[in-house]
Structure 1
Amino acid sequence: MSAEMPDYKDTLNLPQTDFPMRAGLPKREPEWLERWEKLAIYDRLRDRAEGRAPFTLHDGPPYANGHLHIGHALNKILKDMVVRSQQMMGRDARYIPGWDCHGLPIEWKIEEQYRAKGKNKDEVDVVDFRQECRKFAEGWIGIQRDEFKRLGITGKWEKPYLTMDFRAERIIAEEFQKFLMTGTLYQGSKPVMWSPVEKTALAEAEVEYHDKESFTIWVKFKVLTEGDLQGANVVIWTTTPWTIPSNKAVVYGDSFAYGLYEVTGTPNECWANVGDRFLLADKLAADVMARARLEDGMWTRVRDVTADELSTLSLAHPLAGADGAKGEWDDPRDFRAADFVTDEEGTGFVHCAPSHGMEEFELYRDLGMLEQVITYNVMDDGGFRADLPFFGGKFILDRKGKEGNANKAIIDKLIEVGGLLARGKIKHSYPHSWRSKAPVIYRNTPQWFAAIDRPVGDGQDTYGKTIRERALTSIDQLVTWTPRTGRNRLYSMIEARPDWVLSRQRAWGVPLTCFTKAGAMPNDPDYLLRDEKVNARILEAFEAEGADAWYKPGAKERFLGNDYDPAEWTKVDDILDVWFDSGSTHAFVLRDREDGSEDGLADLYLEGTDQHRGWFHSSMLQACGTIGRAPYRGVLTHGFTLDEKGNKMSKSLGNTVAPEEVVKQYGADILRLWVAQSDYTADLRIGPEILKGVADGYRRLRNTMRFMLGALAHFDEADRTDLQDMPELERWVLHRLAELDEVVRKGYDAYDFQGVFQQLFNFATVELSAFYFDIRKDALYCDGDTARRRAARTVLDILFHRLTTWLAPVLVFTMEEVWLERYPGDESSVHLTDIPETPSEWRDDALAAKWTRVRQARRVVTAALEIQRTDKVIGASLEAAPVVHVDDPDMLAALKAVNFEDVCITSDIVLTGDPAPNEAFRMPEVAGLGVVFERAMGEKCQRCWKILPDVGTHAHPGTCKRCNEALG
């Protein structure tokens, strides 16, 4: 610019905004949280939503124990995005957060504290112990609540639901009483999964499977029956040597081929002798002999042994007659056929300890022989009863859940008495407690069950008479599954599951509020006390005092009242499975609270895939037992969180990602954006590099919002332009908004946050920033008060309201910041705003098709100019005035109608239907279009930088006609 040439910079309409490019989220997000707290946004939304269609997402309760991990963050952020998007689409979207407060992990922590102080839990008053558990849970609820709120999760935080609230404990007891009164509850004695470390029964939902190395042994049971098989040995194989003292029978398969085998030679180290005879399944005999170190040629098959022959035999326990056994195992063992025997591994014979195996238990139950075969050798701590010969006081597991001394003692004794043929070790999948991570055992104990195949006597038979029937009908007819595979998983689980074990032998929880008649048997009609007056007294006490009332002195007399003699009734002191607590939450949250759900049902339950065997499962069973159907209309499941390499996160591996650390470094919105960008239906990866990529995408999106804010400075209603007065480019943007509105609403309704965000991100960064904004910068900055500039700003205002509300469910903090930049004020918030309705007349498919072709042509021109820029021929596209050869007359007409030089950001452009010369630039994907580079002719306008022939011919020096008019 020459010395006398004016500086026109101050005459431009440059962007004006205080919105910073650097977000500073870790520092600023807590300020917005504080602001929302003062605004009481959740309650305001409830007041404003009166009359709207309700939407209730029922929160699956996290456990009140420990800081949040990344899986918690994923879960709660997904829930928050569901609630916020539904609210902003016109629903009354409610979210009451809750906590699971009872149960073993808390109880275990208090016991650890006691042990550290040298105290014995069993010597502490049970009510005092429960109060310690309550205090522990309260402390963690406060911590977790703050951690959840820091993630931007909206909800009724000041009044969450807690399973340990007195009202909740009352309703849980009331729900249990429905099982009692409708005949679903029964007491049974059968093998259940038992945790020796935790001294309690476990449900399937509390068990996970891990590899475990176990002892494996081949044991000899001598044939007692007279005949040529007398003295031969039936060989069994087991991976649980500790069950041998509880053996009561051996079973075989009546369709397998069996043979009598004789040892003819032995190696130096072997527990077989020449002349020993063994009964084995032919298919497995060679393997058994190899395990016994008997090589080929050291044994021979003597003859067939038929199933009829086997049916006549009786066997001796390997410890029968042993010195010091005190006759414990002298009775002959039962020997019969059973359909659960296989010839795939083992020996073809199965040793039966019905106290420790469900298949054996069911076999002898159906035979009416349980009294003859049930033992009580294993105590609640996994130790053998003190008076059991040889093994009294030995433990299956030690106190830490590691291998105890029982298996070795049993194997050593079997070797001593000549009862062992072979031994080894095997690694296999084995059940472990979900909480203690210690192995579990099957142990026969009296427990309380909910019968899932017994008709429920409540008259609610619309979806089936039994809990199982109702559950399976609900899964298929009443519930929408996201993803659909969730249906199959829960259906197969409930289709095959046994009765629900409701009782736990612990102290911290809601008791099974029932009484049994002294001296009566569990199958007697009057064994259980069923009295509505007694039930009412219990519920009244729980409402006032909580479940502690059950354990206070005189509780039995208080609840039985004057109607029953306390000496004739026994108070059950077991506690309910905590899954019954959480499974009952629909009753005391959805049904009982004013802000629950109108019909007592949830529109959505949302948890990880592990909850098919957890909360989804227990809620289904509990509700089918009390209200006759599923408590939810929809179920959404998400995957687990993995590190960047796809490995399971582990503190020992050092690959965990703590939500707190992500929030400190990047801010909660980056964590929320990671959730929105991920496919939650599969396992999700997260780590430093992934988060860097998310943060980069966030910056690009933030830049788009910043451009809009700057361009909209001082915009008011007087600037607004009607649709019919807008240029085609603006009408194309409105058409895209109409398309996107449908995508966003359908996506949010389908909980497809990844799909919604991808569409919005591409629109904001590609179609807006790289196309529309790029083109319209010139008009926005350089035009005076023109119709074109007013139309562009009108569209920007419309874009602002759509993008902020569309993205607010995801980027809760950033969209609030963007909103307040335009609408400051103590009462202002984007989260008090709905997604605007989109006029149908914005949709213009013909115009969109035309602009698809215009954009294709633009790509060819910009690619041609990029070559010139790379070769340093030009520095900017405004230095060019290319000639564009277009074969298609319709395409040519379309380009001539849209100020194509503005679209391509060139100073001029020549459009021609003449054939393109050979040297023209072409792109294979856009046929019939060639570009020949030419320089723009004229001088550079000192205001807009376009190179035009008329520059310098107007009143304002160094300007073009447009800029001269803008300057007035």
Structure 2
Amino acid sequence: MCAETPDYKDTLNLPKTDFPMRAGLPKREPEWLEHWNRIGIYDRLREKQGRTPFTLHDGPPYANGHLHIGHALNKTIKDMIVRSHQMMGYDSRYIPGWDCHGLPIEWKIEEQYRKKGRNKDEVPINDFRAECRKFAEEWVDIQRDEFQRLGITGNWADPYLTMDFHAERVIAEEFMKFLMNGTLYQGSKPVMWSPIEKTALAEAEVEYHDKESFTIWVKFKVVEADWPNEVECIQNESDERQDNLEFLRQLKTDLTDASVLIWTTTPWTIPSNKSVVYGEEISYGLYEVTGTPDECWANVGDRFILADNLASDVMARARLEDTMWRRVRDVDTWMLEGLKLTHPLAGAEGANGEWDDIRDFRAADFVTDTEGTGFVHCAPSHGMEEYELYRELGMLDQVITYNVLDDGSFRADLPFFGGKYILSRKGGEGDANKAVIDKLVEVGGLLARGKIKHSYPHSWRSKAPVIYRNTPQWFAAIDRAVGDGQDTYGTTIRQRALTSIDELVKWTPKSGRNRLYSMIEARPDWVLSRQRAWGVPLTCFVKKGALPTDPDFLLRDPVVNTRIAEAFEAEGADAWYRDGAKERFLGDDYDPTEWEQVFDILDVWFDSGSTHAFVLRDREDGTEDGIADVYMEGTDQHRGWFHSSMLQACGTIGRAPYRNVVTHGFTLDEKGNKMSKSLGNTIVPDEVIKQYGADILRLWVAQTDYTADQRIGPEILKGVADGYRRLRNTMRFMLGALGHFSDADRIEPADMPELERWVLHRMAELDQTVRDGYAAFDFQGVFQQLFNFCTVDMSAFYFDIRKDALYCDGDTTRRRAARTVMDLLFHRLTTWLAPILPFTTEDVWLSRFPGDDSSVHLQDMPETPDTWRDDALAVKWAMVRRARRAVTAALELQRSDKVIGASLEAAPVVHVADAEMLAALKSVAFEDLCITSDIVLTADPAPAEAYRLPEVEGVGVVFEKAEGQKCQRCWKILPDVGQHAHPGTCKRCNDALG
């Protein structure tokens, strides 16, 4: 700059904003939380009148530990749903809740007892329950703070708790509806049982892990072959042998004293064996041992009946080489029908006749020849398929045993095995399996043994393996007609649920429909009872001496039910356990000596499945029809909360309690591995917040496809933080450009240049995209569109172009239009992004509109006029932008080669082959769009040396330097610089200076 040329820096309209470049989220976010609490923002939103209610019903987490990354993902998605619908004009309600009953909390108290050497059974039950309640209360408070720190909006002052007295009343009332409508019954069947926790478990309380199990091949000896019609049997074998009974005699000789071989991974079930079953479509053969190695439990001459497809494998397991056995003959199904088998422990010395009965032997459709021996040993007390087989045959009383006690030990008087444990007291291998195997070896009942690693059910809480155990439990019959007259969607719980799934519920993703449908289609009756202490009891009475099948077995009296409900409302479920409770509830209507009070507690999934009644139906901020707009949880809840809520509601209100079900996947580490403390790959939300802030964690959620499994880790979070900074810069530029903007600065769209009208068009397009995306719960789609718009359309294009006008223009139409558009953009971007980034958008909003009562979260997304849409203009500007890319790429080469330092030093010649594109470029200030001092547009063919961008056909760019002098105010190089009143300026700058 010459000495006489003034410094024009102070004459520029430079950005004015206090909005910091660095976010400082970990430190500043708590300030905005305090601001929201101070102004009571959730309650303020409820005051908005005339809005359509929208309710996301919260699936309650357990109140028993700090939040993990799955909690953060879950609650953030919910918050985005709630906030986005509020800003789209709904009265969007969110009542957070907690699941406070059941084994997770009870187990924690028992752990504390064990550490102190206390015995739970010696503590008065209501004292124990009080400790469980206190434990849950403490964790509710901790988790509430942790959830709020994530920026989750909701009615935190009045959440719902399943242990509140009113909730316990309603849970009991909902159970008593099953009692009264005829779907409740007591049955004895195999259920998943935790010996460690001494309680039945629901499928949702079980997780599968690899477990090493014993495998054994056991001999069930054929003691008799007796076919009722010998002539018919001969005809079945061959018409040529109709008169030859010698064949049948030989067949009996071949099969008698042979052994049917079974294979099992649960040796402890052998003492409870009652039968063996085979498959009618399987090919079987009789196999004979012809030689043995030194160490083998087979003897020369032993004969075994096996599925042909599995014979080689079985013989190899018995250490028999191919030369040591032969196939003797076919064994057809009709031959198997006449065989009688004995248990391998039959006649054993000291067995006291325990296993001397002949075993039942019949066909079953669940037998295959893909693994094992082609035969299945049945202990119907410990397997559902076997149980159902004999239930349909009406033979349960002949095959059910009660050999295994609630702690997983054998009954004391069981020969050989009394007092042996299936599992150790810590959940490891007990001594039962070894005892059974050793005894089988001793009596010659074992052919082979081994070990196998397989997926096996474990308790979700104790992490110990579970067993199937026959025990009396209370069930809800899902195929029995519900006697409540609410038959619009079916007469049974299963029918109502399946109809609801297809007709009443929208699924996100759609695969959720198939998952829940298949589970409910195939599920057995619902096991409602648990043998625990902390929860809502099964509030019913049974007649002493009556059988479960007797009509008067259950007391069904509305007056008694009302007494129970009123007591629970006043005192909670503890009322059931107080002295004199039975007499109190039965009153003078019944003789208490004739009735037994049930003390099992309800499955905790029944508690959470009932929440629609005491939250959606009963609360003032619930819903008019008791139905939620959305249930949103992880994919595991298809067998958990989605499932139990569906069954419970179909049993009480006749339909699903939700209209939408949204499902997210699981969170994995950066390599796609499951997170584990032992692997050291866990991501703790609190640590992410301390390092980056909650908004970065929320932004990670928005960037992921939550419907599938997601990945998170240090490198991923760094990438999220980088993207956040780009967004923040977009916001900061807007704030700077809008300094001192007022309504007096506005101009109408019709008076704006095309570039601003194109921005309005893009906003109109984006407004619809954002609303549709939020309505479809597609946060990834919404964020991708917004991020691309901010960084590509705005920062890299529009802002880059309009910097010059914003900084250097005087009070021009162009500058007014740009600032008007910036204002319109500000209100849309802040509200579009607020559901995702509530802290940052609040920071942006308060930077422009400070005030004690100010908040972006009190705003709605502005309505965007349809008149802003201009598809023809969008087509034109798509051509303009394509041509611009070719020019900027050509200039970048010159900059890289240090021919120029800035694009304003250039005045390129642009050869455009397409006449329509050339006309479009000539109709706009293309040199301003390319940020050059001048530009020449021509239809002449591009010379060979012209730069060409492959993806922009028909455009060639020849670099030329701009002619003239550099304006000391705007830095453009123009011929007229120095010819005006203000030294060293171009005409535009001279006019701006006045």
- TM-score strictly above 0.5: yes
State the AA in 2 paired with 1:887: A
Deviates more, 1:506-515 or 1:353-362: 353-362
Per the alignment, residue 401 of structure 1 pairs with 427
Distance 1:276 1:87 in 2: 78
Distance 2:711 2:977 in 1: 57
State the AA in 1 paired with 2:60: P
Match of 1:267 among 260, 281, 293: 293
Change (3 A) 1:942 1:223: same
Q: Tell me, what secondary structure is at the counterpart of 1:155? A: coil
Distance 1:532 1:120 in 2: 38
Q: Tell me, what secondary structure is at the counterpart of 1:586? A: helix
Q: Tell me, what secondary structure is at the counterpart of 1:633? A: strand
Q: Superposition pairs for residues 66-77 of structure 1, below 5 Å?
A: 66-77=65-76
Structure 1 residue 363 displacement after superposition = 2.1
Q: Does 1:954 align with 2:953?
A: no
State the AA in 1 paired with 2:13: N
Q: Does 1:44 align with 2:44?
A: yes
Per the alignment, residue 926 of structure 1 pairs with 952
Per the alignment, residue 413 of structure 1 pairs with 439
Q: Tell me, what secondary structure is at the counterpart of 2:47? A: helix
Change (3 A) 1:308 1:948: closer
Match of 1:583 among 587, 609, 623: 609
Q: Does 1:905 align with 2:904?
A: no
Structure 1 residue 533 displacement after superposition = 0.3
Structure 1 residue 684 displacement after superposition = 0.6
1:595-622, CA deviations, whole angstroms, 9 ceiling, x for partnerless residues?
0112111111111111111111111111
Per the alignment, residue 92 of structure 1 pairs with 91
Q: Tell me, what secondary structure is at the counterpart of 1:314? A: strand
Per the alignment, residue 819 of structure 1 pairs with 845
Per the alignment, residue 353 of structure 2 pairs with 327
State the AA in 2 paired with 1:154: T
Q: Tell me, what secondary structure is at the counterpart of 1:333? A: strand
Deviates more, 1:701-710 or 1:888-897: 888-897
1:102-147, CA deviations, whole angstroms, 9 ceiling, x for partnerless residues?
1111111111111111111011111111111111111111111101
Distance 1:7 1:461 in 2: 85
TM-score by length of 2: 0.96
Per the alignment, residue 232 of structure 2 pairs with none
1:296-343, CA deviations, whole angstroms, 9 ceiling, x for partnerless residues?
333333344443333333222221222222222222222223232222
Per the alignment, residue 17 of structure 1 pairs with 17
- Gaps of at least 5 residues in structure 1 are none
Match of 2:314 among 267, 271, 288: 288
Structure 1 residue 873 displacement after superposition = 1.6
Q: Tell me, what secondary structure is at the counterpart of 1:650? A: coil
Q: Superposition pairs for residues 199-218 of structure 1, below 5 Å?
A: 199-218=198-217
Structure 1 residue 554 displacement after superposition = 0.7
Per the alignment, residue 593 of structure 1 pairs with 619
Per the alignment, residue 136 of structure 2 pairs with 137
TM-score by length of 1: 0.98
Distance 1:336 1:895 in 2: 87
Q: Does 1:443 align with 2:469?
A: yes
State the AA in 2 paired with 1:22: R
Distance 2:798 2:364 in 1: 77
State the AA in 1 paired with 2:36: W
Q: Tell me, what secondary structure is at the counterpart of 1:225? A: strand
Distance 2:982 2:799 in 1: 28
Per the alignment, residue 477 of structure 1 pairs with 503
Q: Does 1:719 align with 2:745?
A: yes
Change (3 A) 1:399 1:947: same
State the AA in 1 paired with 2:279: G
Distance 1:839 1:326 in 2: 90
Structure 1 residue 471 displacement after superposition = 0.6
Deviates more, 1:936-945 or 1:886-895: 886-895
1:854-898, CA deviations, whole angstroms, 9 ceiling, x for partnerless residues?
111211221222122122221111111222222333322222221
Q: Tell me, what secondary structure is at the counterpart of 1:297? A: helix
Change (3 A) 1:891 1:220: closer
Q: Does 1:870 align with 2:896?
A: yes
Q: Tell me, what secondary structure is at the counterpart of 2:380? A: coil
Structure 1 residue 208 displacement after superposition = 2.0
1:192-220, CA deviations, whole angstroms, 9 ceiling, x for partnerless residues?
11111111111112222222211111112
* Percent of paired sites with the same residue: 83
Q: Tell me, what secondary structure is at the counterpart of 2:471? A: strand
Change (3 A) 1:302 1:901: closer
Q: Tell me, what secondary structure is at the counterpart of 1:535? A: helix
Q: Tell me, what secondary structure is at the counterpart of 2:224? A: coil
Deviates more, 1:902-911 or 1:165-174: 902-911
Structure 1 residue 81 displacement after superposition = 0.5
Change (3 A) 1:893 1:333: closer
Structure 1 residue 955 displacement after superposition = 1.3
Match of 1:529 among 518, 532, 555: 555
Structure 1 residue 911 displacement after superposition = 2.0
Structure 1 residue 704 displacement after superposition = 0.7
Structure 1 residue 375 displacement after superposition = 1.0
State the AA in 2 paired with 1:139: E
Per the alignment, residue 571 of structure 1 pairs with 597
Distance 1:213 1:863 in 2: 63
Match of 1:625 among 651, 675, 679: 651
Structure 1 residue 287 displacement after superposition = 2.6
Structure 1 residue 191 displacement after superposition = 0.7
Q: Does 1:358 align with 2:357?
A: no
Per the alignment, residue 896 of structure 1 pairs with 922
Distance 1:958 1:338 in 2: 100
Q: Does 1:468 align with 2:468?
A: no
Match of 1:731 among 750, 754, 757: 757
Structure 1 residue 479 displacement after superposition = 0.5
Match of 2:719 among 679, 693, 698: 693
Q: Superposition pairs for residues 305-324 of structure 1, below 5 Å?
A: 305-324=331-350
Distance 2:330 2:956 in 1: 90
Q: Does 1:836 align with 2:862?
A: yes
Q: Does 1:191 align with 2:217?
A: no
Deviates more, 1:716-725 or 1:242-251: 242-251
State the AA in 1 paired with 2:815: R
Distance 2:531 2:220 in 1: 36
Q: Tell me, what secondary structure is at the counterpart of 2:761? A: helix
Change (3 A) 1:12 1:255: closer
Change (3 A) 1:306 1:698: closer
1:383-427, CA deviations, whole angstroms, 9 ceiling, x for partnerless residues?
001111111111000112111100001111111111111111112
Q: Does 1:128 align with 2:154?
A: no
State the AA in 2 paired with 1:64: A
Per the alignment, residue 171 of structure 1 pairs with 170
- The two structures, once aligned, show a CA RMSD in angstroms of 1.3
Structure 1 residue 157 displacement after superposition = 0.4
Q: Superposition pairs for residues 639-650 of structure 1, below 5 Å?
A: 639-650=665-676
Change (3 A) 1:231 1:925: closer
Distance 2:9 2:335 in 1: 108
State the AA in 2 paired with 1:948: L
State the AA in 2 paired with 1:548: D
Q: Does 1:661 align with 2:660?
A: no
Change (3 A) 1:533 1:866: same
1:892-915, CA deviations, whole angstroms, 9 ceiling, x for partnerless residues?
222222111111111122222333
Structure 1 residue 853 displacement after superposition = 1.1
Per the alignment, residue 487 of structure 1 pairs with 513
Q: Tell me, what secondary structure is at the counterpart of 2:92? A: strand
Change (3 A) 1:254 1:925: closer
Aligned residues: 967
1:432-475, CA deviations, whole angstroms, 9 ceiling, x for partnerless residues?
21222211111100000010100100000000111111111111
Change (3 A) 1:120 1:909: same
Change (3 A) 1:706 1:257: closer
Q: Tell me, what secondary structure is at the counterpart of 1:625? A: helix
Distance 1:68 1:465 in 2: 41
Per the alignment, residue 245 of structure 2 pairs with none
Deviates more, 1:467-476 or 1:261-270: 261-270
Per the alignment, residue 806 of structure 2 pairs with 780
